Amino acid sequence: MIETGESYGFPLTIAAISDVGRVRNNNEDSQGHAWLPDGSLFVIVADGMGGHEAGEVASGLAVQVVEDVVTRDPEDDPRKRLHDALLEANAAILDEGSRSGTRGMGTTAITAVLKGQQVYIAQVGDSRCYHIRRGQLAWRSLDHTRVQMLVDNGEITDEEARTHPEAGMLTRALGHDRMADGRPLEPDVIPEPLWLETQDALLLCSDGLHDLLEDWEISETVAGRTPDEAAGMLVEAACERGGHDNVTVTIITAGPRAGDYDPNYVPEAWQNPTTGQNSADYDTFDGYDEETEQGIPQAAAPQYLEQGAAAATPAARTPTPITANTGVISPAALADAQPSEDGNSKMMIYIGVAVGGFVVLFLILAVVAVVLYVVMA
């Protein structure tokens, strides 16, 4: 279904499709959007995990809680609202897991608030946000995966990441109070908003899409089409290639359709006309104060920026390349993969920590038993 509206006088068109795919029995993805009281458009895609109905509950709860929190206090900075909303969603999923006995459930989330031409983005997990202009695609999120960490550390190349056996291993997810490195869960929030031009497109999706389609296929499919046409074609393409996972796509265009594909257009830098900041920078809200161990937004600590204020980034950085290839599983690699019967097969690094904890507990109990035996003897 396609829907049109205006945000601060800027025309937006949105369509969303979620499909169970060709392998799984239930759809653990969830998506939502809402026109907020202040005139902004809110969108979210969440990819649940945990098997049976647990993933579906987690992703649905994330959509509900994030929308509720973002709707509150419309005068607050959208970055603060998105950041707080994801943390509240995390707490809600943890509470539900404890109450229902499904402690392993969790979900990714990619979410955005479109305020006129400005786009504020936040994420946890490996669901993605793409920005498409004249058929050229830029990543506006980076996966929270083990593979992405390896790429960032220079341990593997972008090409090797495509077929890496740990491509599905998340380092952050809602429903888990710790990240893979042991720190408290902290969402990523892009510190400066993107700036949309007429006929730009924004695409949010679960990994059921980006696992199976290359960046150029996604961008060329969106180019020149309305959001509902493009979303339908992308979901169909993913299903035709095996549909190993649920597939969810939300597309927003600035106007009735995306701009036509221009093979000669190479965006060296897409700048925000208000701040002049390169929109491809990936500074995020995952910085930590070593003394307090509290998550602080790198570009706005200790207070979030007021609308239009310049970001006080810690240090100048070389702009991140417009496109990146991280955490993508190639169709060839998927041909040999066996899907999980119990829902999403993503693995969490924290499981290893939990297993280690049980081993330590067992050893302690064994020592206590030996000591008691000696004393009794």
| Per-residue pLDDT at 255 exceeds 70 | yes
Residues 6+ apart with CB under 8 A from 243: 19, 21, 22, 23, 208
Residue 95 to residue 98: CA distance in whole angstroms: 5
In this structure, of 89-93, 109-113, 199-203, 309-313, the range with the lowest mean pLDDT score is 309-313
288-301 pLDDT, tens digit each:
232 222 222 222 22
DSSP string across 102-119: -TT-EE-EEEEEEETTEE
User: What is the chain's mean pLDDT, rounded?
Assistant: 79
Average pLDDT over residues 18-36: 96
Assign residue 154 a region: left if phi > 0, alpha if psi is -120 to 50, beta otherwise? left
pLDDT of residue 322: 26
Assign residue 286 a region: left if phi > 0, alpha if psi is -120 to 50, beta otherwise? alpha
pLDDT of residue 281: 40
Structure tokens belonging to residue 107: 């979900």
In this structure, of 159-163, 278-282, 357-361, the range with the lowest mean pLDDT score is 278-282
